[in-house]
Amino acid sequence: MPLMLLALDNTLLDREAAFRAWGAKFLDEIGAPPGDLEWLVSIDADGLTSRWDLADSMLNRYHLRASAVDLVDELDLGLMENTRLDPLVACALRIADDAGWMPVVVSNGPAYRQETIIRRTGLDRYVADWVISEAAGVSKPNPRIFTLAAERVRMHLEDAWIVGDSPEADIGAAAAMGLPSVWLHRGRRWMESRFEPTTSAGSLIQGLSAVLAGGRVVHG
């Protein structure tokens, strides 16, 4: 039974949609122009911007009376409340499990928020386990976090695939470990010259199909 190591944000769950939903409501509440949503999304940079830096940018732009702590808490709560598990993704994970794969989440981010989202969306029912960088003390693309994920489910990394949307954190890690990978391009072009994914896909469902078609499932 080989491992399928999956990113969380914008791979298993649509973080961008959740952030946009929270951002639109927040901007409406403070009376900001609707067009500012694109500014907010660009500053967030798919979650790569520190939550504290994002809060500081919002405080400076809108001269809010709230503190950075309040904004970070509101962002975390907003993401937890607005994130949904696509039923088709749940179905695809079940199919992968039935085909002999063991899906494990490997995610960078705050442990409480990420774990709450995993449980709140019901994703925990479709994966074997998860490792979150804040709790693990190591983050992607460091190979150690993937080793920890394998250890959590008492498996080896042999025959494992890595699936994710980040060229550096997911595909770069796979390349460093010599593991096959699927890059979820989300409409982007591959720009990295140092390494490349085994294959790319436009959605997680397509990515899982690629793994099932190209991966060697070990039975017994």
Residue 216: pLDDT over 50: no
Average pLDDT over residues 34-40: 94
pTM of structure:
0.91
* Band of residue 4 on the pLDDT scale cut at 50, 70, 90: very high
Please report the pLDDT score of residue 215 as a whole number: 52
Question: Nearest-CA neighbor of 161 among 175, 148, 151, 141?
Answer: 175
Query: b vs e for 87-113, b when ≥16 Cβ sit within 10 Å of the residue's Cβ?
Result: eebbebbeebbeeebbbbbbbbbbeeb
Cβ neighbours for 14, distance < 8 A, ≥ 6 positions apart: 83, 84, 86
* Residue 180 to residue 132: CA distance in whole angstroms: 21
Tokens 């460093």 belong to residue:
176
**SS3 of 123, please?**
helix
